[in-house]
Structure 1
Amino acid sequence: MSGARWSYAVNQWDTNIDAFVRRREHERAFKTVSISGFGAVELTAESFGAWEPLGTPDQIRDLYGSLEQFRDVLAACALDGVSSYVYDPAIGFDVEMGRGHDPLDPAGVPRIVDTARWFAAALVRLGGDTLVVRPVGSAWQTGALDDGQIAALAAAWADVGAAVEAEGVGLALHVDFLSALRIGDGLERLVEATDGAPVGFAVDTAEFAIAGIDPVAFLRRHPSRIRHVQLKDARETVGESEALTPHAEQFVRTEGGERRIGRWFFEPTDEGGLVDFEGVAHALHDIGYGGWIVVESDQSPHPAESAMVSGWYVQNVLRPIVGGAA
């Protein structure tokens, strides 16, 4: 039986820059997550100041008074805390004078290390232990990564991994369906290049499936490297040529590309999406996975309903297979 823990990402409530900014809205979301059977929440790092009050440790302090007071609010909603923070180094934060940094550029790595350490230190105070990071930019920006670029990424994330490990936090590299690492064998080459380093990987079932990567096969192929799991479903795939579309973050991911896909992500269920969730659950059980499993539905038009539907599916189908606590 594994010691997996179950969390829920609150990004689905944050649908617009001013849509999720008040404490009352936060508390309603937290209580919904709790009654749906989850023990913690996952936050996403954002840099829009007061419009993203959960986006950075400083913004949490500004709204709640301190990180500890925010954790008290979570506890009052019957949650243990924050499981994880999702961080993209391309986003600039106030501590960086609003400038993001490229992990392929060695000159920017020290600032990425500092920012990652900042999030990690806050995460520990919030009860969490995993920093989930976007390891490289989109495919259209770089094309296929050569050996030198893979080596640069491996070195950069080894430095970051060591820094956050010293804070008591694990590092999980999160590959999305537009990532340069989804081109060719980039992801497998980075796994190999970081072997032995304090670097783990996140398996996001929908992002993998959209990119044509089998999450079950990846879990079974790299059991010792899995640091984080995010569960959501998908119904469409994106090939390499579409991922290489200029400005794909806007044109493909946000606007749906030439096919005008209205929604990329769905809550995990057994209703015929691309992801074999029971296969994922069996793989997690078999490899003895003991980290966080975070359920997402970050484009849901009905976030509370999605949380409750996901909670039912987790409690009645997935958790009995995987095992672990709420």
Structure 2
Amino acid sequence: MKIAGAPISWGVCEVPGWGYQLGPDQVLTEMREAGLTATELGPDGFLPSDTVELVRLLDGHGLACVGGFVPVVLYRDDHDPADDLAGPLESLVAAGAGVVVLAAATGQDGYDERPVLDDAQWRTLLSNLDRLAGIVAARGLTAVLHPHVGTLVETRAEVDRVLTGSHIPLCLDTGHLLIGGTDPLALAREVPDRIKHAHLKDVDAGLAARVQSGEMTYTEAVAAGMYVPLGVGDVDIAGIVSALEDNGFDGWYVMEQDKILAGVPGAGEGPLDDVLASVRFLQGAASGVTS
């Protein structure tokens, strides 16, 4: 198994006002302390945009780059999402990444509200997905679409619309799929050939249900601890890993536990302990798959 980390497990997020943002040196150092040797890049502005500085920083921490999360506005016919992609793509190419993780952004800040698209907007979105996938492929990388709460591809019906209306493969994000109403294990079994990248998240289903009912916003639920270390919540992470491995999955498993930090963590109170717990669980799951 190829296991990587992501800055969101340290509370680093692209949403303005998300919470206290730890610096790159601490995040990358703690990734290595957790035994990780690869990472996604995190949001725009977290790591250097200068590609020479970016590569030097990752190399200095002994971390490879596997990919990066790139929200793009795909549904508007007066906006070219290739412009949103250009800068992050250059960074990912320079860092030696293999995957560009696209999300169908609304164009609004945050993930608590989203518009409803008409058929014409859906056609534009799907066409742009395939066009961006082609741009990414021309640079030697693979684009995947990340179903994500608060974006325009959240529910199972919307995931199916992408599967039938475009050729882009998926990032199987076990947490966002569950919260959006999709059984991630069922999806892994149904369309294994369309899954080229995985974000492994575990979720407190009780808090997820409160998001689904509208009782809590997505942001409120994250702050309340909706995401938990792998193996602690209600997602069958081991079953999903087994299903993917049984179908020849050769992509990266990126461990993510989205957090909102209220301030500078005190000694022994930071995200590292949760990351270590997830690493231990995933190593055990991998042993079970290969034994």
Q: TM bucket by the smaller chain?
A: 0.7 to 0.9
Per-residue CA deviations over 1:135-163 (Å, capped at 9, x if unaligned) read 243795333x5544332221011111101
- Counterparts of 1:136-215 in structure 2, within 5 Å, are 136-137=105-106, 140-143=113-116, 145-183=117-155, 185-194=157-166, 197=167, 199-215=168-184
- Gapped runs of 5+ residues in structure 1? 47-51, 55-59, 90-101, 246-250
SS in structure 1 of the partner of residue 164 of structure 2? helix
Distance in 2 of aligned mates of 1:136 and 1:67: 25
- The percentage of aligned residue pairs carrying the same residue is 22
Distance in 1 of aligned mates of 2:93 and 2:69: 14
SS in structure 1 of the partner of residue 39 of structure 2? strand
Q: Which residue of 1 aligns with 2:200?
A: 231
**Superposed displacement of residue 201, structure 1:** 0.9
Q: Which residue of 2 aligns with 1:126?
A: 95
Q: Which residue of 1 aligns with 2:76?
A: 105
Distance in 2 of aligned mates of 1:210 and 1:242: 11
- Gapped runs of 5+ residues in structure 2? 13-17, 262-269
Q: Name the amino acid aligned to 1:149.
A: Q
- Measured at CA, do residues 74 and 321 of structure 1 come closer, stay the same or move farther in structure 2, by a change above 3 Å? farther
Distance in 2 of aligned mates of 1:116 and 1:176: 18
Distance in 2 of aligned mates of 1:322 and 1:172: 25
Give the one of 195, 204, 218 matched to 2:187.
Answer: 218
Q: Which residue of 1 aligns with 2:224?
A: 262
Structure 1 vs Structure 2 CA RMSD: 2.7
Superposed structure 1 runs of 4+ greater than 6 Å apart: none
TM-score, L = length of structure 2: 0.82
Q: Which residue of 2 aligns with 1:318?
A: 285
Q: Which residue of 1 aligns with 2:25?
A: 27
TM-score, L = length of structure 1: 0.74
Distance in 1 of aligned mates of 2:278 and 2:179: 20
SS in structure 2 of the partner of residue 168 of structure 1? coil
SS in structure 2 of the partner of residue 70 of structure 1? helix
Per-residue CA deviations over 1:244-298 (Å, capped at 9, x if unaligned) read x9xxxxx602234xxx9712212212x3x22001101111111111111100112
Distance in 2 of aligned mates of 1:168 and 1:68: 19
Distance in 1 of aligned mates of 2:46 and 2:114: 30
| Residue pair 1:32, 1:308 contacting (<8 A) in 2 also | no
| Residue pair 1:117, 1:163 contacting (<8 A) in 2 also | no
Distance in 2 of aligned mates of 1:239 and 1:212: 12
Q: Name the amino acid aligned to 2:31.
A: V
Give the one of 59, 65, 71 matched to 2:55.
Answer: 71
| Residue pair 2:171, 2:195 contacting (<8 A) in 1 also | yes
Distance in 2 of aligned mates of 1:6 and 1:183: 27
**Superposed displacement of residue 34, structure 1:** 2.2
SS in structure 2 of the partner of residue 255 of structure 1? helix
Q: Name the amino acid aligned to 2:121.
A: Q
**Superposed displacement of residue 240, structure 1:** 8.7
Give the one of 84, 107, 114 matched to 2:83.
Answer: 114
- Measured at CA, do residues 17 and 208 of structure 1 come closer, stay the same or move farther in structure 2, by a change above 3 Å? closer
Distance in 2 of aligned mates of 1:265 and 1:310: 12
